[in-house]
């Protein structure tokens, strides 16, 4: 069972991940996951190759996974939410 506030903590982690992504990684990630565009559509939209779309999407997922799995400092539990 999830404790109250866990969703906000998850959202903070995702926001932190988005800040760590390069501009291109973020644009590719949002285009694929939010706008539901295909790799070919993203490549055309951004003027890059499909291979570059794949590389940037993989890099953005790596940043996201690392940020979500990162353990918060112990003192955060005392931080007002």
pLDDT in tens, 9-47: 778 888 888 899 999 999 999 999 999 999 999 999 999
> Two tokens at 41?
């559509």
Among residues 18, 51, 47, the alpha carbon closest in space to that of 33 is found at 18
Angle at Cα 29 formed by Cα 23 and Cα 30, nearest 5°? Answer: 90
pLDDT category at 2 given cuts 50, 70, 90 is low
Question: pTM of the prediction?
Answer: 0.77
């Amino acid at each position: 069972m999830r404790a109250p506030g866990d969703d906000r903590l998850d959202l903070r982690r995702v926001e932190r991940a988005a800040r760590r992504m390069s501009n291109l990684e973020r644009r590719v990630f949002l285009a694929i996951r939010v706008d539901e565009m295909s790799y070919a559509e993203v490549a055309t939209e951004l003027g890059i190759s499909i291979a570059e779309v794949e590389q940037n999407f993989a890099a953005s997922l790596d940043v996201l996974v690392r940020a979500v799995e990162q353990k918060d400092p112990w003192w955060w539990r005392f931080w007002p939410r």
